Homo-oligomer: A and B are copies of this chain.
Amino acid sequence: MDYQQVLEEIYHEVRPLLGKGKVADYIPALGKINGQQMGMSLRTLAGEHYSVGDFSTCYSIQSISKVFTLALAMQDKGEEVWQRVGREPSGNPFNSLVQLEYEHGKPRNPFINAGALVITDMLVSRFQHPQNNILEFIRKQANDQRIIIDDEVLSSEQATGFTNAALANYLKSHGNLENKVSAVLATYFAHCSIRMNSEQLSQAFLFLANHGNDPLTGEPLLTRSQAKRLNSVMLTCGCYDEAGDFAYRVGLPGKSGVGGGIVAVIPERCSLAVWSPELNSKGNSLAGMKALELFTTKTGISVF
């Protein structure tokens, strides 16, 4: 399979979509970006890597960070994680309070905001400086020490994150946060504000294609079963209330962020990161979704 050729074809075919979506503007720092960019990177377990377009431009990873925090929480707590958060698709937008109320403070899954706040709370309990541990984990997986938190995005999140503050307070009222609301929010906003590029992200997700083992060192980060299960949660819940459509069109475990990034995993083979900042009406990258759909169509690769 000539992956480089495939990526270039995709890049050519999705470029006409640039200009047809809408950059996230819920925080000012995200809204300032030039929306008409698109990049894509693929990295195989054999160590090859292929890239196209704006693959080396850094962007806010936003909700993609929730995969790393979930992996860290699973490392520490194993199946206990699921006592405080579910693993069912939500059927509601990512920041919905409704489901949380009907389900008495136990979020549906770790990738909606409420669930990610509970996972973050687990890390605040586990680590003295949780945002450092999260950042170190990501740097190690990406094999790149230059990855940082974007202070401007972080300030913007903190100044305007009232919906997340509502969710965190509501979780606290149901006894589903162990730590102070302010501490959990600070860590949550920090890990959402990490900046990475597609090359770094494709590298950093490769352990999930590798049965949970670090592809460089072989070190087990998750058990085989945990890696498989994290992938299944990505497939069913990774793209907000468009998860079913993603599974239908792409057919791979994947996780998106409102910064325009999407990362997908092809078990036992490779990982892929695509980025284009303009979003569709569900909050997922418009060109990114199309690029991944084309990738599976062109290569015939899918988990189904």
Report A's interface with B, CB cutoff 8 A: 86-92, 96-102, 108-109, 162-163, 165-170, 172-173, 181, 224-225, 227-229, 231-233, 235-237, 241-245, 247-249, 251, 253, 267, 297, 300, 302-304
A115 to chain B, nearest CB (A): 12
Contact between B97 and A245, CB atoms less than 8 A apart? no
A286 to chain B, nearest CB (A): 18
Q: List 21 A-B contacts (CB under 8 A).
A: A87-B244, A87-B245, A88-B241, A88-B243, A88-B245, A89-B89, A91-B108, A97-B98, A97-B100, A97-B101, A98-B98, A109-B244, A162-B169, A166-B173, A224-B300, A225-B297, A227-B304, A229-B248, A229-B249, A232-B244, A233-B244
Residues of B within 8 A of A88 (CB): 89, 91, 241-245
Contact between B170 and A304, CB atoms less than 8 A apart? no
Residues of B within 8 A of A170 (CB): 97, 162-163, 166
A10 to chain B, nearest CB (A): 17
Of A225, A231, A232, most buried by chain B (CB within 10 Å of CB) is A232
Q: Given known contacts A91-B108, A235-B304, A236-B236, what 15 new A-B pairs fall within 8 Å (CB)?
A: A87-B245, A88-B91, A89-B243, A91-B91, A97-B101, A98-B98, A162-B173, A165-B169, A166-B167, A227-B304, A233-B244, A233-B247, A235-B236, A235-B247, A237-B244
Residues of B within 8 A of A245 (CB): 87-88
Copies in the complex: 4
Residues of B within 8 A of A90 (CB): 89, 91
The answer for the CA separation of A232 and B247 in the assembled complex, in Å, is 6
Contact between A89 and B86, CB atoms less than 8 A apart? no
The answer for the CA separation of A229 and B251 in the assembled complex, in Å, is 8
A33 to chain B, nearest CB (A): 22
A132 to chain B, nearest CB (A): 27
A88 to chain B, nearest CB (A): 4
Contact between A169 and B173, CB atoms less than 8 A apart? no
Contact between A181 and B162, CB atoms less than 8 A apart? yes
The answer for the CA separation of A173 and B163 in the assembled complex, in Å, is 6
Contact between B101 and A91, CB atoms less than 8 A apart? no
Residues of B within 8 A of A172 (CB): 162
The one of B99, B267, B300 that contacts A304, using a Cβ cutoff of 8 Å:
B267
Residues of B within 8 A of A168 (CB): 166
Residues of B within 8 A of A98 (CB): 97-98, 101-102
Residues of B within 8 A of A108 (CB): 91
Contact between A304 and B231, CB atoms less than 8 A apart? yes
